[in-house]
């Protein structure tokens, strides 16, 4: 859990994802399209990725990927990001 806290506190926007997860790919693409340059940790590529995934689950992240932290705080998961994006698209001035 300490490693996870360090990872999320060092950068302003952090995404935990997996290469094999299509929703992770979608979320990463959305943030990049918004002009955000997040730090992305691919849990299936990094050392102790499974341990970090378990720590995310302990924080209440379900599913454990994709998960987004902004300013060190858990902000949204995939469903919330997609909802925000769809709401943005549905506004006439978006």
pLDDT tens digits for 38-84? 999 999 999 999 999 999 999 888 888 899 998 998 876 667 766 76
Q: Which residue reads 């992240």 in tokens?
A: 61
Alpha carbons 54 and 75: distance in angstroms, whole number:
18
Domains and CATH numbers, the chain: 2-90 (3.40.30.10)
Work out the pLDDT band at 2, boundaries 50, 70, 90: confident
Say what the pLDDT of residue 25 is. 92
Helix extents (H) in the chain: 2-10, 22-33, 49-58, 78-90
For residue 82, give Cα distances in angstroms to 76, 85, 86. Answer: 10, 5, 6
pLDDT tens digits for 3-19? 889 999 999 999 999 99
* Beta-bridge partners for 42: 17
Write down the pTM of the prediction. 0.82
């Amino acid at each position: 859990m300490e490693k996870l806290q360090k990872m999320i506190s060092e950068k302003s926007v952090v995404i935990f994802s997996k290469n094999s997860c299509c929703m992770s790919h979608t979320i990463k693409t959305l943030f990049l399209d918004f002009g955000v340059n997040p730090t992305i940790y691919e849990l299936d590529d990094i050392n102790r990725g499974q341990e970090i995934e378990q720590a995310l689950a302990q924080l209440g992240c379900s599913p454990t990927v994709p998960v987004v932290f902004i300013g060190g705080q858990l902000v949204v998961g995939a469903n919330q990001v997609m909802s925000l994006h769809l709401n943005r698209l549905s506004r006439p001035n978006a």
